[in-house]
C-alpha cells in the first residue's frame, strides 16, 4: 500500500463507501479501482481526475499523494514569515543565521525578499538547526509543529497536502 491507497481507503471508510460505490460515482473500472485501493502502480491524470470527482477531493491532493514520497513543503510565504519571526525573537540579522546554519547569507536574503521562491529541504533543515528548532517547527510555527510532530509520517504528508491544496484554492478564489 502507498500514501494514495491509504488515503483512498480512509476516504471510503469516512464516506461509508464500498469499492463498487467508487466505480458508480466515476468512470473507473473494477480493475482500476482495485489497483488504486491496493496501491498497485501509479495512476494517470485521467484516473486522478475521476477519483477526485468521486471522492470530492482536490485533484492536487491526490496527485501529491500519488507522486510524492516525502513531506510536501509548506508554501514559501509561510516559511519566509516564520524565519522572519524567529530572527526577530532572537534579535538576529539574517547574517547571524547564516553563520549559525552554514547557509550562505545571500541565499537567505534572496528567500526573505522573495526573489527566491523555493527552499530545498536540506536548506530548511540547516536553518532550523541554526535556530535550534526542528524542521517542522520552522516550517509551521512552534505550536502547530508540536501537534504536527505527534502525527505519523503518513498523516503528516496528508495534512501538508491538504493545507497546500486549500491555500492554493484560497489564492485562486479569495
Which domains does the chain show, CATH number per domain?
A: 3-67 (1.10.260.40), 76-168 (1.10.260.40)
Which are the contacts of 9, defined by CB distance < 8 A and separation ≥ 6? Answer: 1, 37
For residue 28, how many C-alpha atoms fall within 13 Å in the half-sphere facing its CB? 28
SS3 132: coil
User: If you ran DSSP here, which 8-state letter would residue 114 be given?
Assistant: T
Residue 138's pLDDT is 85
CA distance 144 to 112: 22
Query: In the block, which residue shows the cell 486522478?
Result: 48
User: If you ran DSSP here, which 8-state letter would residue 170 be given?
Assistant: H
Residue 114's pLDDT is 66
- Widest pairwise Cα distance in the chain: 60
CA distance 55 to 57: 5
For residue 64, how many C-alpha atoms fall within 13 Å in the half-sphere facing its CB? 21
CA distance 35 to 48: 13
Mean pLDDT, consecutive 10-residue stretches, the chain (174 aa), reads: 82 87 92 91 86 83 69 58 86 94 91 71 92 83 65 80 76 67
Amino acid at each position: 500500500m502507498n500514501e494514495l491507497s491509504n488515503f483512498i481507503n480512509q476516504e471510503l471508510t469516512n464516506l461509508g463507501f464500498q469499492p463498487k460505490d467508487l466505480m458508480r460515482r466515476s468512470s473507473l473500472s473494477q480493475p482500476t479501482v482495485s489497483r488504486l485501493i491496493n496501491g498497485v502502480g501509479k495512476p494517470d491524470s485521467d484516473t486522478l481526475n475521476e477519483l477526485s470527482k468521486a471522492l470530492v477531493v482536490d485533484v492536487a491532493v491526490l496527485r501529491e499523494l500519488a507522486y510524492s514520497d516525502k513531506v510536501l513543503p509548506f508554501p514559501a510565504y509561510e516559511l519566509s514569515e516564520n524565519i522572519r519571526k524567529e530572527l526577530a525573537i532572537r534579535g538576529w540579522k539574517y547574517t547571524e543565521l547564516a553563520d549559525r546554519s552554514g547557509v550562505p547569507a545571500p541565499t537567505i536574503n534572496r528567500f526573505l525578499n522573495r526573489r527566491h521562491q523555493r527552499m530545498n529541504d536540506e536548506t530548511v533543515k540547516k536553518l532550523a538547526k541554526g535556530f535550534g528548532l526542528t524542521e517542522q517547527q520552522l516550517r509551521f510555527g512552534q505550536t502547530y509543529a508540536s501537534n504536527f510532530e505527534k502525527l505519523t509520517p503518513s498523516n503528516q504528508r496528508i495534512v501538508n497536502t491538504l493545507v497546500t491544496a486549500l491555500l492554493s484554492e484560497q489564492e485562486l478564489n479569495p
